[in-house]
Chains A and B, each alone.
Chain A
Amino acid sequence: MEVNAEARRILAVSISKLYASRTQRGGLRLHRSLLLSLVMRSARDIYHSSRESEGPTPEEPMETSSGAEDEQQQAGLPEPQPALVSSEKLPEEPDSAEEECETTEDKENLSPTRQSRKRRGKASAAPDFLPSKRARLEPGEERYAAPLSSCRAGAGDSLTALSLNRGDWIPLRAEELTYIGQSQDKGITGAMVRAVRST
């Protein structure tokens, strides 16, 4: 599925760009973040619609948003996306990646304390005057920006080949979450960020 592979590759590249833009001088650029989120949304929709057409596969729920947020996202869609399958089903992490990690460790069920650090975009549209906090690092962790090349794995293995390690989770700031798109995206986005970080 070329389109599928292309969509995943673009998703990975986009996440990496979004992550890299955090360390850019001058701060997060709203325009750029918005454009990245639009591309990611297109790629995500194509990816999911092509997966839908492949046939249903068992999916595990990610940290997800509610149905209400789902509708909000539908209402907020600015343009019709190509081949958009009805999005009442919540978009999940790529199944292949989940299946892989199932066999090793239960990496997906993160501890509540970890999960609670992730900011839900809906609740935390931060007022401008509040400072944006960066993630507090665990001992031994280091902060770095994933190089673009790390996402340039060959088509098809950009996600499946990456192992998902606990401690690679990077909570995104409120502004980044909103620009990634409506809250429905955060499920897949969080997974993408983990995938990037682990390389």
Chain B
Amino acid sequence: MAGTGDGSSDVQWCFSQVKGAIDDEVAEADVISTVEFNHSGELLATGDKGGRVVIFQQEPESKNQPQCRGEYNVYSTFQSHEPEFDYLKSLEIEEKINKIRWLPQKNAAQFLLSTNDKTIKLWKISERDKRPEGYNLKEEDGRYRDFNTVTTLRVPVFMPMDLMVEASPRRVFANAHTYHINSISVNSDCETYLSADDLRINLWNLEINDRSFNIVDIKPANMEELTEVITAAEFHPNQCNTFVYSSSKGTIRLCDMRAAALCDQHTKLFEEPEDPNNRSFFSEIISSISDVKFSHSGRYMMTRDYLSVKVWDLNMETRPVETYQVHDYLRSKLCSLYENDCIFDKFECCWNGNDSVVMTGSYNNFFRMFDRGYRQDVTLEASRENSKPRSVLKPRKVSTGGKRKKDEISVDCLDFNKKILHTAWHPLDNIIAVATTNNLYIFQEKLN
């Protein structure tokens, strides 16, 4: 199986599918805000600004076309969050889905956590393909039968019906966050999960929704002394006592819940000294970490700041082991990017199944992959122009010097409204999901 696809220079990516409206006018509610594969890769969930969750399911591979992995088709759509109003603070609470995280599957049903700024919900997605028929007291349409007409007894039996996928909210975890939730992460113990806002991290039990434990609190006694906020948090994939959280100052703290009930004292602090040559007005903004992800192995973690992706070895706190420049040509444009708000964009990053390649998004609907082993990187584009089935994606290049080669695009021509913030990689295969503003692109490795 190509799960061992190691992102070597041989890997070519093909367009597979695109989901979403074709219009140039993007409805605000349709903006995709999160993308996540489940643990088997069979299901792909997206959340949008309108508070909806759409789940796609991969079709089983057909024997007719062994070269092609199954397509993803809509499996379930539901409204996860609605806009709310906090009357006490006169604040509207957006329904935008910030994060979706799948629970490992334990039975026939699938479970996922979805969160907006204030409330986390546990959703159960289950299939129904049979229904009981042959009641004694009821007709098929539900009306009660006249008892006098009942002369025999029968046992109702399950008869097949059209597949129905139901999503039902099983738990609502509310009122635990004063600030805006930026992360949720399910623990490897499959019993607890954490939720993080700007200043606090809470630990929940999946079964208990009226209580949570606060495990990190960085709110200063005097808010005037506030110097950093929490930007992302994640549990270690194997060690249920370990989690990390990143900050707006570019630091990552690893905490061990065995050490204390309140993990304000970090166990490890990962920080790279700033390069004084790169100091500018915007140094603090671009060093703010927008995403942190553990590798599948649990040995490494990856952080994304505005211009780069860094891979850290958990055993070394002083500096990252690898640094990849995503779009360093933007370094001289920071002032313009500040004015048009792009500098505040929060890009995410992801690992491939065997941790050999990392991927992240950029502008102009470009996304970048960095092969850690072969030390190669590639820039690809998600666009409708390259959307013929199984057409191979051509690597793109941004020209930074004076002379622009053919097929290169100059920095000034980049479309900063077309940004790829959310990407996801299938846990086992070389299939990736890339979200542009309101479209979801699915690309697959070219198989011969």
Q: Are B91 and A39 in contact (CB under 8 A)?
A: no
CA distance A7 to B280 in the complex (A): 11
For this complex, into which size category does the number of interface residues on chain B fall? 35 or more
**Could you give 25 example pairs across A and B, Cβ below 8 Å?**
A7-B281, A10-B335, A13-B338, A25-B92, A26-B96, A26-B117, A27-B91, A27-B92, A29-B180, A32-B344, A35-B248, A38-B284, A39-B281, A42-B283, A76-B227, A78-B227, A78-B228, A82-B279, A121-B223, A129-B88, A132-B90, A134-B90, A178-B224, A179-B226, A183-B224
Q: Are A30 and B180 in contact (CB under 8 A)?
A: yes
Q: Are A39 and B338 in contact (CB under 8 A)?
A: yes
Q: Are B281 and A13 in contact (CB under 8 A)?
A: no
Which residues of the partner chain A approach B117 to less than 8 Å between Cβ atoms? Answer: 26
Q: Are A125 and B222 in contact (CB under 8 A)?
A: yes
Which of B88, B227, B281, B339 has the largest count of A CB atoms less than 10 A from its CB?
Answer: B281
For residues 1 through 57 of chain A, which have their beta carbon under 8 Å from a beta carbon of chain B?
6-7, 10, 13, 17, 25-27, 29-32, 34-35, 38-39, 42-43, 46
Closest to B49 in A: A25
Is there a chain B Cβ closer than 8 Å to A122's Cβ?
yes
Which residues of the partner chain A approach B225 to less than 8 Å between Cβ atoms? Answer: 76
Q: Are B198 and A31 in contact (CB under 8 A)?
A: yes
B residues in contact (CB < 8 Å) with A: 88-94, 96, 117, 178-180, 182, 198-199, 222-229, 231, 248-249, 274, 279, 281-285, 288, 335, 338-339, 341, 344
Is there a chain B Cβ closer than 8 Å to A189's Cβ?
no
CA distance A79 to B339 in the complex (A): 23
Shortest distance between the CB of A36 and any CB in chain B (Å): 9
Which residues of the partner chain A approach B178 to less than 8 Å between Cβ atoms? Answer: 128
- Tell me what chain B mostly uses at the interface: helix, strand, loop, or mixed: loop
CA distance A159 to B381 in the complex (A): 42
A residues in contact (CB < 8 Å) with B: 6-7, 10, 13, 17, 25-27, 29-32, 34-35, 38-39, 42-43, 46, 72, 76, 78-79, 82, 121-122, 125, 128-129, 131-132, 134, 148, 152, 174-175, 178-179, 182-183
CA distance A29 to B229 in the complex (A): 11
Shortest distance between the CB of B232 and any CB in chain A (Å): 11
